[in-house]
Amino acid sequence: MSKTIPGALDAHYALGTTTLAVAIKITRADGTVFGWTEHDVADTVSAVVYSPDPGIAVSEIVTSAGLQVGNLEIRTLNDETIFTAADIHNGVWRNAAFEIFRYNHQSPSDGIDPLLYGNVGEVRPMQNMVTVELLDLRQYLQPAVGSASSKTCRYRLGSTTRANGGLCTLDISGAPFTVSFTVTGVTSNRVFQDTARAEAEDYFGWGSVEWLTGNNAGVFRKVQSYAADGTFTLAEQMYDTVQVGDTGTAVVGCRLRRDEDCVTKFNNVLNFGGEPDRTGLDDLASSPGGSV
């Protein structure tokens, strides 16, 4: 794919002796922007400040002419200044967008020469450092083609497109499927209660919650189970303390079953994405029976 280099930067390239630096910008899903440069002082490029601190090492960029996904990683000290344990644990960095480019550090206004775009993969904290996996945009060109037969539904609840196993076609964006909750009791950072809830047993099981206020504001969690008294049990505990008065949004769950979920719970059986009545391997491989 061709790219256009700004005229001023192209002219700088033509000098032979250049003052180029490589920078990386990461934009998280919450809109927070981080910028780092290999230059030994901070530079401002397109209104974003790129800092040399903390020191970040970028592996060699590997790309290919085909559809194989190029990847690299960055490494930095595990000093809790940028990649905090809470943010990593809560998935704040998941799928953040990144951009790597060259620029003239003596004249940042000359523009940029893009090298690679993509999204953040795994963020792995170690004893002394944090490694961040960076995947280029070709990862989106490698979805699974077709689908395997299964007794349970293959679709995502609330999906309306074919993307990522979609086509459930059920709109769950509003009540009664998406509701607000307020914590009235706390058992642990994994178990809490909203006594005002009146949904049936397991209504939010395999659903999700998003915290809107409190120590965990902005964080999502999967719901493992839900009791009729308004007790939520999360699949993974919250990193920060859950307190009475915290608020959030709870989304209905689906355990991918035809009768219990698609028929009874959602009245959406025509869009069920499984084959619960299929013949199993044991039946296909068994000896023929019958009476004489």
Q: Report the distance separating Cα 201 and Cα 229, nearest Å.
A: 8
Residues in the chain, pLDDT under 70: 1-2, 58-71, 138-148, 164-165, 280-292
Q: Can you say whether residue 87 is alpha, beta or left, with left for phi > 0 and alpha for psi between -120 and 50 degrees? A: alpha
Per-residue confidence (pLDDT) for residue 164, from 0 to 100:
66
Per-residue confidence (pLDDT) for residue 125, from 0 to 100:
85
Residue type, 210: E
Q: Report the distance separating Cα 204 and Cα 201, nearest Å.
A: 8
Residue with tokens 């490494």: 75
Predicted confidence (pLDDT) per residue in 53-104, tens digit: 877 776 666 555 554 555 678 888 777 788 888 888 888 888 899 998 999 9
Q: Which domains are seen in the chain, by residue range? A: 11-141 (2.40.10), 178-251 (2.40.30)
Q: Report the distance separating Cα 156 and Cα 166, nearest Å.
A: 5
Encoded tokens for 221: 């969690």
Q: What percent of the chain has pLDDT over 70?
A: 85
Per-residue confidence (pLDDT) for residue 70, from 0 to 100:
58
Per-residue confidence (pLDDT) for residue 244, from 0 to 100:
97
Per-residue confidence (pLDDT) for residue 82, from 0 to 100:
85
pTM of the model: 0.69
Per-residue confidence (pLDDT) for residue 50, from 0 to 100:
93
Residue with tokens 């999700």: 208
